Amino acid sequence: MFRQTKIVSVIIVIAMLVATGATLEAAVAQTKQDKLALAEGEVKQLLLLMDTNENGKISKEEWMRFMEAEVERLDKVKNGELDVKELAQSKLRVSYFISMGK
């Protein structure tokens, strides 16, 4: 009898661990989806910002023009190069560019 109770207890613990693992996996998957949705919104804002001819795509020229403006903005010592400190302080924010452009 004691042995059966022990086996049932072990089975219950295993079932609980499996259920907890599935719940955690679902929570992680939802968090990833939430982050992707947030990133997608930011990407759409960047697309609107960079897409100067408003065709819904970013050409190499549009990309380069945007990046050149970014290097100029971030280059605090005005030597045409960005160092680690300048890049670390940049914290590119879409809202910054949108408010500057309007």
Rg (CA), the chain: 25
Decide: helix, strand or coil at residue 37: helix
Q: Find all residues with CB under 8 Å of 11, minimum gap 6, and list them.
A: none
> What is the model's pLDDT at position 59?
94
What percentage of the chain reaches a pLDDT higher than 90?
18
Give the model's confidence band at 79: pLDDT under 50 very low, under 70 low, under 90 confident, else very high. Answer: very high
Q: In terms of pTM, does the model score above 0.85?
A: no
| Count of domains observed in the chain | 1
Q: Which domain holds residue 32?
A: 2-101
Cα gap 69→46, rounded to integer Å: 14
pLDDT exceeds 60 at position 64: yes
11-47 confidence digits (pLDDT tens): 777 777 677 776 767 666 777 666 666 677 778 888 8
